[in-house]
Amino acid sequence: MAILRGVKPDEVVDIAAALVEAGVGAIEVPLNSPDPVESIRRLCDAFGDRALCGAGTVLTPDAVDAVAEAGGRLIVTPNTDPAVIAHAVARGLTVMPGFATPTEAFAAVKAGARALKLFPAGTFGPGHIKAVKDVLPREVAVYAVGGVGASNLDAWRAVGVDGIGVGGELYRPGDRAADVAERAARLVAAWHG
Measured CA to CA, the distance from residue 138 to residue 135 in angstroms comes to 9
Measured CA to CA, the distance from residue 119 to residue 108 in angstroms comes to 13
Nearest CA-CA partner of 29 in 173, 191, 176, 189:
173
- Could you tell me which residues come within 8 angstroms of residue 91 by beta carbon, excluding any fewer than 6 positions away? 64, 65, 68
- Could you tell me which residues come within 8 angstroms of residue 178 by beta carbon, excluding any fewer than 6 positions away? 18
Residue 28 known to be catalytic:
yes
Of 28, 38, 130, 133, the catalytic one is 28
CB contact at 8 A, 193 and 34 = no
Of 8, 38, 104, 117, the catalytic one is 117
Active site amino acids? 28, 117
